[in-house]
Amino acid sequence: MKIVHRLLLVLLISVFLFGCSGKKGSTTEGKLVDGQGQPLSGISVTFKQVRPVAGNEQLEARTGIDGIFRISGLMPDSEYIITPVSDKWTTKVTMKFTTGKEGQPLVLSSPIVIRFTILANGTIIDTKTGLQWLIYTATDINAGNVLNTVKNIGEGGFNDWRLPTKAELSSLQDKTTSPTEQSESSSANEACCVWTAERSSEKIEWEFYIDDGNDLWTSSKMPPNDRIVIVRNYSGTPATAQAPTVVVPSPVVVPQPQAAASPAPAAVTTPAVSEKKDAVGAAQTGDTVIVRFDPKKATINTEDLAALKVFYTKVKDTSGKILIEGHSDAGGGAISTMKNSVDLALSTLSLLKKMGLSDKAKVELKGMGDTKPVADNKTPEGRQQNRRVELTFIPE
């Protein structure tokens, strides 16, 4: 009987020792910082196993005043995903890592950088620049009325929204210097356009950006051509209780601003509505040319390039406006076809400028997507016919 008791005692001690060792597991330490490298304190950090094992699926730690978090009890040699969690904002930043061996602490080599945070009201805080961003539904916007539209926006209780500057828009393309495996949106690399204006200036321009997957672009459910982007210097206290202005979406229209301080309003069109009448009228009084592109490239074929040079020679010294409409073949969805049509229009404008077209020339660009096919998109020949740019010169 004594032997049995001794065996039970040894068994209980072994279970206790192994149990404590299992609970100890692997220890990991890391740090959360914002876009300026400042520590983020009081933030919960969850650790979820990539391949869950019962009892180790998810654990949680919290950052200290120095932004550092430490956690024990993780399974050794196991993959985890770190997700920062706050009751004030959300972020799409995550990090995947592999824990150390049993009893060997792991210190993450670089901080986890959280630059963009999304607030409950849908606005985005860029912690690197201190700017608050918002994607806002808009329609009937042109160079002549966009400033007034922005002035009437009271979203989030603020009345000091404005258009971003070129430099601010460009800064959003900066990649994080952290080597962490941060998640990217499936909409990454989509391109579209944003109205910009320099501070204390009435000059409005239309700039293009590449959606690199950061929270500013991916947080919006609106298609790129149905929105404007506005910005303000971030503060937590609303400047006004003014109700937001509700505006209905509109298609992409890309006017090129003139040298005058207050550009004339650009035409607003709906791609689904035919413009055949306008094209015929322009052809009767001016010149029209259609250029097509090699499959899956933004390169004009040789024959059409020669036609484009002839077109430029005729109109370069004539007073008027050049209308450049980009058209895409079908496939890839509305955002993709709109991007392709805008890219083709921009490539054509770039060629005209290389030929000598002045930046002061009156030019209007339109991305029409795949709304106006001239051939069957089911064949390679038809798709190539649809990948085109139509240029029309409208004399004054």
pLDDT digits (tens, 9 = 90+) for 134-175: 888 776 666 678 888 888 888 888 889 999 998 898 887 655
Q: How far apart (Å, rounded) are the C-alpha atoms in residues 94 and 186?
A: 15
Measuring CA to CA, which residue among 50, 69, 53 is closest to residue 61?
69
CATH fold group of domain 24-114: Immunoglobulin-like (2.60.40)
Strand partners, 97: 80
pLDDT for position 138: 73
- Residue 221 confidence (pLDDT): 62
Q: What are the distances in angstroms from CA 392 to CA 7, 280, 285, 290, 383?
A: 96, 10, 10, 9, 22
119-129 pLDDT, tens per residue?
Answer: 888 889 999 99
Domain layout of the chain by residue ranges: 24-114, 116-255, 276-395
Under 8 Å between Cβ of 253 and 266 = yes
* SS3 (DSSP) at 249: coil
pLDDT surpasses 70 at 197: yes
Distances (CA, A) of 370 to 132, 248, 250, 330: 34, 22, 16, 6
- The mean pLDDT value for 9-13 works out to 53
Mean pLDDT of the 172-189 span: 42
Distance CA 150, CA 227 (A): 12
| pLDDT, tens digit (0-9, with 9 covering 90-100), for 30-76 | 999 999 999 999 999 999 999 888 777 788 999 999 999 999 888 89
Give the CATH architecture of domain 276-395.
Answer: 2-Layer Sandwich (3.30)
pTM above 0.85, yes or no: no
Query: Using the 8-state DSSP alphabet, how is residue 251 labeled?
Result: -
Q: Is the pLDDT of residue 355 over 70?
A: yes
20, with CB counted inside 10 A (0-12, 13-18, 19+), is exposed
Q: How far apart are CA 139 and CA 271, in angstroms?
A: 14
Cβ 116 vs Cβ 123: under 8 Å = no
Q: What share of the chain is helix, strand, coil (3-state, %, to 5)?
A: 25, 30, 45
